[in-house]
Structure 1
């Protein structure tokens, strides 16, 4: 697979650990991978490219060092606030893909979070808006925004409310409490797998490989249906998915023919890259 990623700063590490898989590593370990405008711009450029690149089917997002992401760079934010140089409401509304270009991104391709150490504030907004989450046993999670006078408004509130329900979401959002990886998995429901730290990335790669064994057309149409289910009731979701561009690509494309033929011939299918929508 020969791919040329868009230009980016050293605040983001780009790798291709397997065919069809993109890995993005937040790379400000000395600052606990706190989000900067540069890192956010890098993520937007890389994820927009990922969306449009037929050879890439899955992305894994992780963090360098001992924390996945500590959220926004509060020191820089404080400077902006004290100087009155920012309009937070306008900036948030205009930020189509949300915090780190992930927390409100409506991607039809799977996004896997590989969480080492912990995710706080905006970092947790990133995590809960990924499709699959692998966490280290010692990982910690929190929405501490209310402790700093701010709000998890970039996508965290509606997503955790949908995942955990109103009462459990309130417990996280209104108290700012920190929870363990085990609690995140067993009580709040936004972590799929908890593993030793050394196994976080290998487990994320294993999930990615399991996904890319399947038809990319079917996977992306299924992900589209999941996203639509957040916006519509049962019947509306069903028909919106049926008539989506992703569904048309499934039923008019080559991969459905290949999948059914491979089943009949008792062999593994050989999938093609999806056509661009």
Structure 2
């Protein structure tokens, strides 16, 4: 058996691949910890601007490895939770590239990412109730924040899956592609990499955190996220590049 998670760098993007195709990339503890380690690397290396998370062999992730569960193993990382990323997120963006099935913990893993692109034949669902389990990796919390409550209830209580186009119509995913999801994810990543890294990280953090902020306190909460961006060299470079009609050269400071 080879490595359960592969990582490669392509144009400032860390491509992380769950590599258990023989098990439809069902999540193990080793895989969860390897994904968490890859996300630590994403934050630690300045040359990396974002990550793509995908699955090998034409499927994303079929959820928890049930054989491991029966042995008493939980596919979680101490900080990142299920799949290494559902209870913690890196500072930089992560794109889920979904082919095939993103079911149970696999859907929760996709929802934990910041953007999702999917092949037109991909399927999404949280079928835990069908197995006497509960979608405790974030699905039951995230879906009511992303969907009207009755739709979130339907997915949770019936356990039925939906296709990529339906997920797109509901606003759960960003793009649907006829080809491999990784290609569409790379296009999206390229646009992110072209932008100022400090601005991207601050924007992600505000979008992720601001749903908790009272309207009257938005500026108070937001200022710590953005103050260093407006005084950065990148902010000056962005303005100069715009005035000079050229591409900016970001320094990340």
The alignment's TM-score, normalised by the length of structure 1, stands at 0.86
* Distance change (3 Å), C-alpha of 1:67 and 1:193: same
Match in the other structure for 1:71? 63
Structure 2 contact 50–93 (Cα < 8 Å) conserved: yes
Q: Secondary structure at the match of 2:57?
A: coil
Aligned-CA RMSD value: 1.8
Following the alignment from structure 1 to structure 2, what is the Cα–Cα distance between the partners of residues 68 and 115? Answer: 5
Match in the other structure for 1:10? 3
Match in the other structure for 2:227? 248
Q: Secondary structure at the match of 1:114?
A: strand
Shifted more, 44-53 versus 218-227: the winner is 44-53
After superposition, residues 138-177 of structure 1 pair within 5 angstroms as: 138-177=121-160
Superposed displacement of residue 228, structure 1: 1.4
Match in the other structure for 1:190? 172
Following the alignment from structure 1 to structure 2, what is the Cα–Cα distance between the partners of residues 238 and 122? Answer: 35
Structure 1 contact 145–176 (Cα < 8 Å) conserved: yes
Structure 1 contact 133–193 (Cα < 8 Å) conserved: yes
Q: Secondary structure at the match of 2:14?
A: strand
Residue deviations 1:45-100 (CA, integer Å, cap 9, x gap): 111121222211110000001210001001221232xxxxx7x8xx97x8432211
Shifted more, 21-30 versus 149-158: the winner is 149-158
Structure 2 contact 104–135 (Cα < 8 Å) conserved: yes
Choose the corresponding residue for 1:45, options 27, 37, 40. Answer: 37
Following the alignment from structure 2 to structure 1, what is the Cα–Cα distance between the partners of residues 89 and 17? Answer: 20
Number of residue pairs the alignment of both structures matches: 252
Structure 1 contact 140–179 (Cα < 8 Å) conserved: yes
Following the alignment from structure 1 to structure 2, what is the Cα–Cα distance between the partners of residues 107 and 76? Answer: 27
* Distance change (3 Å), C-alpha of 1:67 and 1:163: same
Following the alignment from structure 1 to structure 2, what is the Cα–Cα distance between the partners of residues 128 and 239? Answer: 28
Please say if 1:22 is aligned against 2:1: no
Residue deviations 1:216-271 (CA, integer Å, cap 9, x gap): 11111111101112322334344222123xx2331232100100111121221111
Shifted more, 250-259 versus 189-198: the winner is 189-198
Structure 1 contact 21–58 (Cα < 8 Å) conserved: yes
Match in the other structure for 1:83? none
Following the alignment from structure 2 to structure 1, what is the Cα–Cα distance between the partners of residues 109 and 137? Answer: 9
Following the alignment from structure 2 to structure 1, what is the Cα–Cα distance between the partners of residues 207 and 79? Answer: 19
Following the alignment from structure 2 to structure 1, what is the Cα–Cα distance between the partners of residues 217 and 137? Answer: 26
> Can you give the 5+ residue segments of structure 2 that lack an aligned partner in the other structure?
none
Match in the other structure for 1:219? 200
Superposed displacement of residue 140, structure 1: 0.7
Following the alignment from structure 2 to structure 1, what is the Cα–Cα distance between the partners of residues 208 and 223? Answer: 13
Structure 2 contact 86–137 (Cα < 8 Å) conserved: yes
Structure 2 contact 7–16 (Cα < 8 Å) conserved: yes
> Can you give the 5+ residue segments of structure 1 that lack an aligned partner in the other structure?
1-8, 81-85
